């Protein structure tokens, strides 16, 4: 049992980050995936995580979505603990009820979309707002239609996922996540399962989000050009640690660490 007394019950002060990983540790049995991770993401910031396969990028996002439990440290979202809850003046591991409330400010898009196959595009986007947020069908429909228009999928709103291309499915998945009005959006390799010619339609939607909306975003991608275009900051992960982080310009043109240089030149060679 770790000592949690040194962790604040709530983050206060002038620049509370939207997301804070504080000494976070994640293991599978004896295998340490992430060791002592510290990472802040400011409100409205777009942070991209890059790194070799198996370095723990997906794990970072999944922990934040509460799809994985953590074995040490605390994650805060919007100043409040996510993985833990205050009880009698100290933090204790969060129970299911607390987790459910805490994660409502987070949305996620997956590599394989995970749309609900038995629902149309519109129904996919209405499901959360109606069932979870308690919106009326009418309100939820309006919200869903607005978002489907934004991602360019309004014409296909009555199609089931099986009738949509990968790029179209991913755009619906983005609309579905946004319909929950999250403060933080997570994108895990959302273009990796797509044919090259449709990648652009998804990256354009994300670019739009960055320029027009004040969302906090955490993204994992293997597309360096895209990451460079839209990110405020790039984190290079290696072996479960942040090896180096910087603005895109600095990191791509002037990487400090040898491992970063190796990774970037390997990626460039592959392109």
Partner 1 sequence: MQWDWQFTVEILPRMLWATVNTLMAAGIGYAIAAVLGLIFAMAQRTRFRSLTVTVREVVEFLRSTPLVLQIFFVYYVGPEYGVSLSPWVAGMIAIGLHYAAYLSEVYRGGIESVSKGQWEACTAINLSPAQAYRRIILPQALPPSVAGMGNYLISIFKDTPMLSVIGVAELMQAANAIGGQNYRYLEPYTIVGLVFLIISLFSAALIRSFENWIRRKLGMY
Ligand X SMILES: Nc1ncnc2c1ncn2[C@@H]1O[C@H](COP(=O)(O)OP(=O)(O)OP(=O)(O)O)[C@@H](O)[C@H]1O
CA–CA dist 109, 171 (Å, integer): 10
Distances (CA, A) of 213 to 133, 152, 183: 21, 17, 11
In terms of Cβ atoms closer than 10 Å to its own Cβ (0-12, 13-18, 19+), residue 205 is: buried
Q: How far is the CB of 164 from partner 1 (least distance, A)?
A: 11
- Assigned token pair, 206: 């994300």
In terms of Cβ atoms closer than 10 Å to its own Cβ (0-12, 13-18, 19+), residue 269 is: exposed
Binding flag, residue 58, Mg ion (CB under 5 A)? yes
Strand, helix or coil for residue 37: strand
| Strands (DSSP E) found in the chain | 19-28, 31-41, 46-50, 72-77, 80-81, 84-87, 90-93, 106-109, 184-188, 216-220, 233-238, 241-246
Binding flag, residue 108, partner 1 (CB under 8 A)? yes
Which x/- pattern, by CB under 6 A, does the window 2-41 give for ligand X? --------------------------x--x-x--------
Binding flag, residue 127, partner 1 (CB under 8 A)? yes
Nearest-CB residue for ligand X: 58
Binding flag, residue 191, Mg ion (CB under 5 A)? no
Nearer to ligand X, 12 or 53 (CB): 53
Between 196-212 and 166-178, two packed helices, what is the crossing angle to 10 degrees? Answer: 20
Strand, helix or coil for residue 47: strand
Binding flag, residue 67, partner 1 (CB under 8 A)? yes
**Using CB under 8 A, which of 118, 213, 257, 268 touches partner 1?**
118
**Using CB under 8 A, which of 107, 167, 240, 255 touches partner 1?**
107
Binding flag, residue 221, Mg ion (CB under 5 A)? no
**Which range binds ligand X by CB under 6 A, 5-13, 55-63, 172-180, 259-267?**
55-63
Q: Cβ distance 37 to 238 under 8 Å?
A: no
Q: How far is the CB of 78 from partner 1 (least distance, A)?
A: 15
Which does residue 54 bind out of ligand X, Mg ion, partner 1, none, counting CB within 5 to 8 angstroms by kind? ligand X
Binding flag, residue 80, partner 1 (CB under 8 A)? no
Interface positions with partner 1 (CB under 8 A): 65-67, 100, 103-104, 106-108, 110, 112, 114-120, 127-128, 131-132, 160-163, 176-177, 180
Interface positions with Mg ion (CB under 5 A): 58
């Amino acid at each position: 049992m770790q000592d949690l007394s040194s962790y604040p019950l709530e983050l206060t002060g002038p620049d509370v980050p939207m997301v804070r990983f504080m000494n976070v540790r994640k293991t599978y049995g004896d295998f340490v995936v992430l060791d002592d991770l510290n990472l802040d993401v400011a409100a409205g910031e777009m942070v991209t995580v890059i790194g070799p396969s198996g370095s723990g990028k997906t794990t970072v996002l999944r922990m934040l979505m509460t799809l994985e439990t953590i074995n040490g440290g605390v994650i805060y979202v919007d100043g409040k603990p996510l993985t833990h809850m205050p009880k009698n003046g100290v933090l204790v591991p969060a129970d299911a009820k607390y987790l459910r409330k805490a994660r409502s400010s987070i949305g996620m898009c997956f590599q394989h979309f995970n749309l609900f196959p038995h629902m149309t595009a519109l129904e996919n986007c209405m499901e959360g707002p109606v069932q979870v947020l308690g919106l009326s069908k009418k309100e939820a429909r309006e919200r869903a239609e607005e978002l489907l228009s934004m991602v360019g999928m309004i014409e296909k709103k009555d199609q089931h996922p099986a009738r949509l291309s990968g790029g179209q499915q991913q755009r619906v998945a983005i609309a579905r996540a946004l319909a929950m009005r999250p403060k933080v959006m997570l994108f895990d390799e959302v273009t990796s399962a797509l044919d090259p010619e449709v990648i652009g339609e998804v990256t354009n939607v994300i670019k739009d989000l960055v320029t027009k909306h004040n969302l906090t975003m955490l993204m994992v991608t293997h597309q360096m050009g895209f990451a460079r275009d839209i990110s405020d900051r790039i984190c290079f992960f290696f072996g479960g640690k942040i090896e180096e982080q910087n603005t895109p310009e600095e990191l791509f043109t002037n990487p400090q660490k040898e491992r970063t240089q190796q990774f970037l030149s390997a990626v460039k060679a592959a392109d």
